[in-house]
Amino acid sequence: MPRFSIIVPSHGVAGRLGQALDSVLAQSFGDFELIPVCDAPGSPASDVAARHAERDSRVAPVHAPPSAGLAGARNAGMRAATGMYLLFLDGDDVLVPGALAALDARLTETGQVDVLHFEHERAPWWEGEPTNPAAPVLAKTPDGAFAPDRAPHLTGVRLPAWSAAWRRAFVTERRLSFPGGHFTDVGWGGLAMLSARRVAVLRSVVVRHLVRRQGSRLNLPGEHHAELLDQAGLVLERAAELGLSAERSGPLFEQLFAAVLKTAAHPRRLPSDRRASARRAFFRRASALYRRHRPAGHRPPGGSLGVQHRLLAAGSYAAFAALRGARRAVTRAVAAVPRPRGLRTRLLYRMHLRRPLDPRLAVYCAYWGRGYACNPAAIHARARELAPHIRSVFLVEAGREHTVPDDVEYAVIGSRRYWEVLARATYLVNNANFAEGVVKRPGSVHLQTQHGTPLKTMGVDQSTYSVVAAATGSFTKLLGRVDRWDYNLSSNPHSTRVWERAFPGSYEHLEYGYPRNDVYCTATADDVTRIRAELGIPQGRTAVLYAPTHRDHHTGFEPGLDLEAFCEAVGEDVVVLLRAHYFYDRGGRRAGGRIIDVTAHRSSEDVCLAADALITDYSSIMFDYANLDRPIVVYADDWDVYRETRGVCFDLLAEPPGPVARTPDELARVFRDGSFADAESAALRARFRERFCAFDDGRAAERVVRRVLLGEPPAALPPVIPLAERVPAPAAAATLVRS
């Protein structure tokens, strides 16, 4: 019985087959048989093998039809083999000098093993440095022979079949064979290692893999990529049958799906004639396989790969396709993570990162530093009452310091103090995201509060809308920021579902309501009167808030409505409060006649409290304003355009919070005839409130502070007050109909 049976499939490699066979015959260790597997007598490869057989009796060619593929050729070679150990060598690869002697010596040291893995070298076809991809895998294994449980990362699916010697008796006893189809090495290696009981490694190169100029055939476009899922499923089914331990099933699962995700993310591997549908079908199959075989308690890996795992588990193909596109864009750019500007600042930040976290330090930021506002400000104010032992620092841009109350500590974004508090804070609260260079330290707690209930698409859902996707930038970086979140705040079940899809991550959803909306349940009539006076609203007038949203396909603010004409059409008793999107806040205040520009006013909550009714198009302010149970009119003059260019997550016109107007005349009419505040309007608003005001009961900030800053268990938090039991802040106009 020869020590080794070396099986060399030769389909399509006749030009280099002689080199492969010569590398074997030139070995100093001669106890082997060489089995070239050729297509048929008379084929080019058969002629090469026949000439070598004439020269050396150890060469014993066999035949397998091309239709049997690589798996059929190797199986044919195994049936003819008589050696103690099986080696596989692709017909365009070579054994390095002394390879067989090294294998024999290692097997003598370890004794009989089922599998002996060894290193291989990938040599570029023309120029470049060779690589040794197996070395890092094998470096983590025990020195002698060992059971697979001691090296759970050695699953067999990451290494080719020709990177190991396989005991033939073991193969026969376990009835192992190469699974048919492409990616047969994945199926073979995974199944063999699941059956192996004794394994060893040789940490030296045995095979030199000569990389083809055109690359691996497996990487070429074609329907064969779907067969990777077949091989992965075969291995996972067998692992399930064996009841594989969690220590081994986790690495096996991750390595198989690393290969699957690599194919799913590749821009050209699936058929070009119907690439989109093929990718979608591949992804759906992979998603089903993932969910069926995901080990209990499995946690996705970190980074971008972990994001892909989560998208696959969720079956979110659109988001995955967006991430794939973003990754391609990133590879063409400089892969540099933004850091604090200036060498001294970078060094200072790194120095502070080495210091321990301050358990009594919380950092807040809103709207990328635009000022003291929104949910972070509401949480900050409540934390000063409930958690006075925690020092709070608010972050603002240079020039926005005036927005911070006198008794609130702040740091200017970009300053040394800014980087110091970011490095040391245990609690970080934001309604957007912190800078790219901010490090998520172990033990720190990041709370994402969001700044509105989503009507338009958000996060990775934006990827299919080219206008907004171009403005969003790298989705890979966006998801990297999401990975820093520990908690994500939600004001209603609708938001929870959208955030989970738009910002896939491992954070915990806090369905506590928006702290900034607490004031809608706690403000008094005196508060409303005071705010109206501050804004300059004449007594006895009906104040209508007009709050249009930003349009990604516009380059600047366009009111979308002739407000002077609207005022003339609805009568002298109406004044309009204009609040443009915060993108267009230039810090000034303009007033003219019956139009009061409140865009620069620090608090959108104050503006809402002052208004007797709201006109908006698609702004999220409608969801907040609905908590006041005051009339809302939707002015949807360009709904079809907005829906196509920006994308929406529900049909606003089918479920509006009040009357819908499509033209200026329709809008003026609903105010002239009073239908903006009639019983039908109240009924629409009541249904809207039931869906979107579920958690905003006036105690959201308290729940957040107790849960996040004080660490109280969810069961100890104040329960949400039912909608019917809430009493919203009163409006100034007594004639308005409440739902």
Predicted confidence (pLDDT) at residue 718 exceeds the cutoff of 50: yes
Spatial contact of 552 and 654, defined as CB atoms under 8 Å apart:
no
3-class secondary structure, 3:
coil
Asked whether the CA dihedral 583, 320, 155, 204 is positive or negative, the reply is: negative
Q: Residue 471: its pLDDT value, please? A: 58
Distances (CA, A) of 733 to 256, 608, 671: 65, 14, 14
- Burial label for 731, CB within 10 Å (0-12, 13-18, 19+), is buried
* Other residues' Cβ atoms within 10 Å of the Cβ of residue 431: 24
Residue 139 is encoded by which pair of tokens?
């470096």
Whole-angstrom Cα distance, residue 46 to residue 13?
A: 11
Residues constituting the chain: 739
Spatial contact of 532 and 610, defined as CB atoms under 8 Å apart:
yes
Sequential DSSP letters for 119-162:
EEEEE-SSSS--B-TTHHHHHTS-SS-B-GGG-TT--SSSS-GG
DSSP 390: S
User: What percent of the chain is predicted at pLDDT more than 70?
Assistant: 89
Predicted confidence (pLDDT) at residue 588 exceeds the cutoff of 60: no
3-class secondary structure, 20:
helix
* Other residues' Cβ atoms within 10 Å of the Cβ of residue 398: 10
Q: Residue 281: its pLDDT value, please? A: 87
Nearest to 423 by CA among 415, 29, 431: 415
Q: Residue 585: its pLDDT value, please? A: 45
pLDDT digits (tens, 9 = 90+) for 564-585: 999 999 988 999 999 986 544 4
* Other residues' Cβ atoms within 10 Å of the Cβ of residue 541: 16
Whole-angstrom Cα distance, residue 257 to residue 54?
A: 46
pLDDT digits (tens, 9 = 90+) for 638-648: 899 888 888 89
Distances (CA, A) of 737 to 297, 612, 665, 727: 52, 11, 23, 14
Nearest to 389 by CA among 711, 721, 709: 709
Q: Residue 306: its pLDDT value, please? A: 83
- Give the β-pairing of 595-597 and 591-592: antiparallel
- Expressed in percent and rounded to 5, the helix, strand and coil fractions of the chain are 45, 15, 40
Residue 268, C-beta contacts closer than 8 angstroms, at least 6 positions apart? 221
User: What percent of the chain is predicted at pLDDT more than 90?
Assistant: 66
Asked whether the CA dihedral 84, 88, 92, 94 is positive or negative, the reply is: negative
- Give the β-pairing of 164-167 and 115-123: antiparallel
H/E segment holding residue 376: helix 374-386
Residue 318 is encoded by which pair of tokens?
């659109």
Q: Residue 472: its pLDDT value, please? A: 61
Rg for the chain (alpha carbons), in Å? Answer: 34
Nearest to 154 by CA among 251, 273, 36: 251
Residue 147: band (very low, low, confident or very high) from pLDDT cuts 50, 70, 90 = very high
Whole-angstrom Cα distance, residue 655 to residue 635?
A: 14
Q: Residue 735: its pLDDT value, please? A: 45
* Other residues' Cβ atoms within 10 Å of the Cβ of residue 262: 14
Whole-angstrom Cα distance, residue 738 to residue 683?
A: 9
H/E segment holding residue 632: strand 632-635
According to the 3-state scheme, what is the secondary structure of 571-590? CCCEEEEECCCHHHCCCCCC
Mean pLDDT across 396-406: 91
- Pairwise pLDDT comparison (617 vs 593), residue with the higher score: 617
Predicted confidence (pLDDT) at residue 338 exceeds the cutoff of 60: no
Whole-angstrom Cα distance, residue 237 to residue 230?
A: 10
pLDDT digits (tens, 9 = 90+) for 3-42: 999 999 988 777 678 889 999 999 999 999 999 999 888 7
Residue 484, C-beta contacts closer than 8 angstroms, at least 6 positions apart? 433, 434, 438, 440, 446
pLDDT digits (tens, 9 = 90+) for 351-387: 999 999 999 999 999 999 999 999 999 999 999 999 9
Q: Residue 335: its pLDDT value, please? A: 36
Q: Residue 329: its pLDDT value, please? A: 58
Whole-angstrom Cα distance, residue 21 to residue 36?
A: 8
pLDDT digits (tens, 9 = 90+) for 283-302: 899 999 999 999 988 888 87
